[in-house]
Amino acid sequence: MPATFSAFAKTVRLTPDNIDAVVAAMTPEDKANLIVGMARDMSDELRADVGYTYHIVPGVAGTTCPITYMGVTPLVLADGPAGIRMDSRRKGDSKDYFCTRVPMGTLLSSTWNDSIVAAFGSIIGEECRDYGIDILLGPGMNIMRNPLCGRNFEYYSEDPLLSGKMAAAFTNGVQSHGVGVSLKHFAANNQEINRLANDSRVSQRALRELYLRNFEIAIRESEPWSVMSAYNYVNGEYASQSKTLLTDILRREWGFEGVVMSDWGAGISAVDMVKAGNDMIQPGINGNFEKIVNGQKDGTISSEEIDACVKRILEIIVRTHRFNGYKPSEKPDLEAHSQALASMTSEGLVLLKNESALPLAKDARVALFGVGSYDFLPGGDGSGAVRCSHVVNLKEGLGSKGITLSERIDSVYECWIAGEQKRLAPMKTLRTWYQYDMRPLELPCPEAYTSYGAEEADVAVVTISRNSAEGFDRHLERDYMLHIDELALIHDVSEKFHARGKKVVVVLNVCGVVDVAPWRDLADAILLCWLPGQDGGTSVASVLAGEESPSGHLPVTFPMRYADVPSQNFPLNVPETGLNQSFEHFNAKRKYYDIPNIDYTDYDEDIYVGYRHYATRGVDVAYPFGFGLTYTDFELSDMKLNRKGDTVRVRVKVRNTGDFAAKQVVQIYATAPKDVPDRPKIELKGYAKTHLLQPGTAETVEIEFPVSDLAIWENGWNLKHGKWQIHAGTSSADLPLSAFLEL
Ligand code: BGC
C-alpha cells in the first residue's frame, strides 16, 4: 500500500499543541506507517535504507514515513557517530556533499574534557542542521567489555561514568543545533560476531553498574531525543522487545521522554517491539507494516500501547527544523570545522611514553617509516564511516609544520603504497560497505632504508595503523598483536637509530587497544593518536613538533597481554564471515543457543571489567586506565573533601612544575568501606581537566558527584554506610591524595 497517503482524508493537521487530537484522528494504517521505517516494499524513490536512501537526503540510514495529509513530516536519520554518513555525490548534480569526519569516539573520551566533546558534537549537529538531518544515529556508547570488540572505535570507555558523561556532552553539543541524537546500542551490545542473535548473559549487578549505568548517566545529564535498541538478546530477551529495558527501566525509572528506535533490522516480532515500547522499527522490513496494522485490529496491540509510540514520535517530529519549515542550506562551513578540528583533536592524543624524545627539536630531520604515516587512517568503517573532503596524513601534517622529512624514505614508501593500492584494487570491489578497505601491507625487509634513514635523519617516526569495522570483531593475531613485518620494522629502526644515539618515536594510529608490551622498550616515545579524523595528521604533527602538549588520558586499559583480559568469554578468532554469519544464524535458527560466545556469551567477569579487574586483583598492566603523559610535570596537592546534602565536593590544587604549558586531568576514585564484600578496589566517580596551565602556575579544580553515585546494586541500589576512601590522582594507578567520607 502506498505509504505516504491514507485513503481517508482528515482535516486535523499536526501542530505542537494538538498531538493527542492527531493521534486520535489517525487510522491504524497511519499509525503503522509512522512506526515502521521506509525500507519496506516501496519504489526506489521512496525507499529508505542504509546507503539506499534516495528520498530527501541521499545516502542516509533511513527515514520515517511522512503522513502528508496530516502535515506529519518525515524524520531523516543519519549515522553517526564520527560525522554524518550520507552520499557525497548526487544523481545529476556535480556538487560534492562532504561532511566533516571527526575523530573516533575513543579519542573524544581520551580528552576527559566535556566541553571539547560538546564542541565535537556541535560541529556534527550544525552539519546535520545544514543538510536537513533530524536525528544523528550516535553517540555509540557501549562499554568496552573486551578490547577486541569490532566497534570499540565508536565507543568511549571501559568505565560507565566516563562513557555516560562523554555521551551526555556529545549529545548536548549535537542537540544545541535543534537536531537530535540516538544513544546506541541499548544495551549490552558488546560484540559484533553474530550480533543479530547473540545473547548477552549478564548479572543484574553488572547490567546495572556497567552496561546500563552509562546510558542512565547520559539520560540524566542530557535530554537525548532518542535511544536505539540493540540487536542482541539480553538474558534471553531481544533488547528491542524488552519491556523491562525499554519501558520499566529507561522510561519509568530514568524518566526518558524521547523515542526508542530499533537498530536496523533488530528483533523478530514487530508486535512485541511496539508492546515493549520500541516506538520506531527501522529501517522497516516487508511485512512489518501489515503486522502492526493487524495487531491493532485484532487487539494484540492495545490502543494505549500503539498510541504511546505514535505520540512519542510526533513529539519529536514537531521539534524538528523540517517540521518548522526551515530550509537546510546544504552549505555547512566545512573549512571552519576543519580548522577547529585540528586543535581540538590534540587534546585526545595520549602520550604513553617519552624518554626525552618529544617534542622534536626545532630543526630535527625526520625519517618517516610505516605505511600508516603516508596512508593515515582517519576513522573506522561500517555505518560509522564518513565521506569527508580530505584526510591529512602524517607526512603532510609534519610538512605543514615545517619539519624536514627524509625524501628518499618518503619516495620508497610512496612507491610501495602505489603498488599495494594496485594489488588491492580488485579485492576492494568485492567488499561490502560495512567492511573496511584492505590496507597496504607493511614494507617487508626495510633494512636498507632504515640504515639510510639512521645516517641521514635525526629521529625516526614509525606509524602503526589498525582499522576496524562494523560486523566483525578484531583478531588476536596480526591485529591486536603486531604483524611480524611491523615488529621487524620497529626492531630494525630501533637498532639502527639507537646505534647512532638517535631517538625512535612510535605513533599508534589505531582503532583500539593493541599489544604494546613486547616492543615498547624499543621506542623512546609512543604517541597514541587513535583514528583521529580527517585532520588528524595536522594534530599529531603539532604535538610532535611541540606546538602544544598532548593531554589525553586512556579511557581503557592497555593490558600486558591479551590473556590478562577479564572477559575471556568472547568470540576469539572466529573466521571472518562477519555479518553473513550473523544472518545465517539469525535466518536459519532464529534462536539457537548452543555455541558459546557466538550464540550466547556469559559475562562471567561480572563487574570486574577493565581496571575494576586489574586494580582489584593486582594484575600488572602495560598502561593503566586514566594514564597519559604531557610535556611537563604536575604536582597535585591540597585535596579538600566536603559533603553538602547529596553532593560530595572534592577540590584539588594542580601546579605545573615543569617548563611547558599543558593541561592536566584530575581523576577521583572511590573505595568502598572495608566490610563491603566483593567490590572493585577503586571506581571512577568524577574528573576534571584544568585549563592550559603555564609553567609555574596552578589551578584548583572542583569535582562534584552525588552521594547516590556511591550506591551499589544488590537487587536495588544500596548506599553502604561506613568509611569510604576517596582518592585523587592522574590515573587509576597514580592516586597520591585521599580523604575519607563517612556515610
Ligand atoms: C548499526 C547501527 C546503525 C544502523 C544504521 C546498524 O547496522 O548497528 O549502529 O546506526 O545500522 O546504519
Task: Say what the pLDDT of residue 569 is.
Answer: 97
Q: What is the pLDDT of residue 39?
A: 81
3-state helix, strand, coil in the chain (%, to 5): 30, 20, 50
Read off the pLDDT of each residue in 193-210 and give the average, rounded to a whole number: 94
Chain center to CA of 121: 12
Q: Which atom of ligand 1 is nearest to the CA of 154?
A: 9
Distant-in-sequence, close-in-space partners of 214: CB < 8 Å, separation ≥ 6: 141, 143, 156, 157, 160, 161, 163, 164, 167
Q: Which of 71, 67, 65, 131 is nearest to 280 (CA)?
A: 65
Q: Could you identify the atom of ligand 1 that is nearest to the CA of residue 185?
A: 9
Residue 580 confidence (pLDDT): 47
Q: What is the whole-number distance in angstroms between the Cα of residue 264 and the centre of ligand 1? A: 6
**Cβ atoms within 10 Å, residue 351:** 21
Nearest Cα residue to atom 3 of ligand 1: 383
Using DSSP bridges, classify how beta strands 199-201 and 723-729 pair: parallel, antiparallel or unpaired: unpaired
> Which range (308-317, 473-482, 579-588) has the least confidence?
579-588
Q: Compute the distance between CA of residue 283 and CA of residue 406 in angstroms, rounded to an integer.
A: 51
Residue nearest to atom 6 of ligand 1 (CA): 264
Q: How far does the centroid of ligand 1 lie from the alpha carbon of residue 383, in Å?
A: 6
pLDDT value of position 44: 64
Residue given cell 537526503 in the structure block = 57
* Grid coordinates belonging to 466: 589498525
Residues having CB closer than 6 A to ligand 1 are 50, 61, 79, 137, 184, 263-264, 383, 470
Residue 284 CB-density burial (10 A; 0-12 exposed, 13-18 middle, 19+ buried): buried
> Would you state the pLDDT for residue 48?
62
DSSP state of 166: H
* pLDDT of the residue at 41: 64
Please name the helix (run of DSSP H) or strand (run of DSSP E) that holds residue 652, with its range, or none. Answer: strand 647-656
What are the cell numbers at 168?
Answer: 551526555
Write the pLDDT tens digit of every residue in 667-707: 999 999 999 999 999 999 999 999 999 999 999 999 999 99
Selecting among 79, 263, 473, 709, the annotated active-site residue is 263
Cα 467 to middle of ligand 1, angstroms: 18
Q: Are strands 259-262 and 350-354 parallel, antiparallel or unpaired?
A: unpaired
Query: First and final CA of the chain: distance in angstroms?
Result: 63
- Mean pLDDT, range 131-142, rounded to an integer: 98
Test site for ligand 1: of 38, 60, 79, most ligand atoms within 8 A of the Cβ? 79
Nearest CA to ligand 1 atom 4: 264
Q: Evaluate if residue 445 carries a pLDDT over 90.
A: no
Our answer to whether residue 263 is catalytic in this structure is yes
Name the closest-CA residue to atom 8, ligand 1: 263
pLDDT at 576: 55
Give DSSP secondary structure letters for 530-590: -S--TTHHHHHHHHHTTSS------SS-EESSGGG-S---S-TT--TTHHHHHHHIIIIIS
pTM of the predicted model, to two decimals? 0.96
The pLDDT tens digits for 528-560 are 999 999 999 999 999 999 999 999 999 999 999
For atom 7 of ligand 1, which residue has the closest CA?
A: 264
Residue 144 has pLDDT above 70, yes or no: yes
- Mean pLDDT, residues 2-14: 59
Share of the chain above pLDDT 90, in %: 85
Which atom belonging to ligand 1 lies closest to the Cα atom of 80?
10
Q: What is the pLDDT of residue 479?
A: 95
Phi, psi of 717 (to 5 degrees): -75, 130
Which of 74-78, 103-107, 581-585, 661-665 has the lowest average pLDDT?
581-585
Q: Is the pLDDT of residue 63 over 60?
A: yes
Please report the pLDDT score of residue 51 as a whole number. Answer: 54
Which of 63, 383, 432, 470 for a ligand 1 pocket mutation test, highest count of atoms within 8 Å of Cβ?
383
Atom in ligand 1 nearest the alpha carbon of residue 137: 10
Q: Are the C-beta atoms of 315 and 19 separated by less than 8 Å? A: yes
What confidence tier does 448 reach under pLDDT thresholds 50, 70, 90? confident
Phi and psi angles of residue 592, each rounded to the nearest 5 degrees, phi first: -140, 85
Q: What is the mean pLDDT of the chain?
A: 93
DSSP assignments along 317-335, one per residue: HTTSTTTTTPPP-S---HH
CA of 38 to the centre of ligand 1 (A): 15
Q: What is the pLDDT of residues 610-640, one digit of tens each?
A: 999 999 999 999 999 999 999 999 999 999 9
At residue 478, what is the residue type?
R
| Predicted local confidence at residue 592, as pLDDT | 52
Contact assessment for residue 208 and residue 200, using Cβ atoms and an 8 Å cutoff: no
Q: Quick one: pLDDT band at residue 1, thresholds 50, 70, 90?
A: very low
CB under 8 Å to 560, separation ≥6 — which residues?
517, 619, 620, 621, 622
- Grid coordinates of 529: 593518536
Given a contact cutoff of 8 angstroms between Cβ atoms, the answer to whether 278 and 231 are in contact is no
- 378: CA distance to ligand 1 center in Å? 20
What pLDDT does residue 2 have?
Answer: 41
- pLDDT-derived band at 207 (thresholds 50, 70, 90) equals very high
CA angle centred on 307, ends 302 and 312, rounded to 5°:
140
| DSSP secondary structure letter of residue 692 | P
Which residues are bridge partners to 717 per DSSP? 713
Strands 525-528 and 350-354: antiparallel
Give me ligand 1 centre to Cα 196, in Å.
Answer: 11
Q: What is the pLDDT of residues 386-422, one digit of tens each?
A: 999 999 999 999 999 999 999 889 999 999 999 999 9
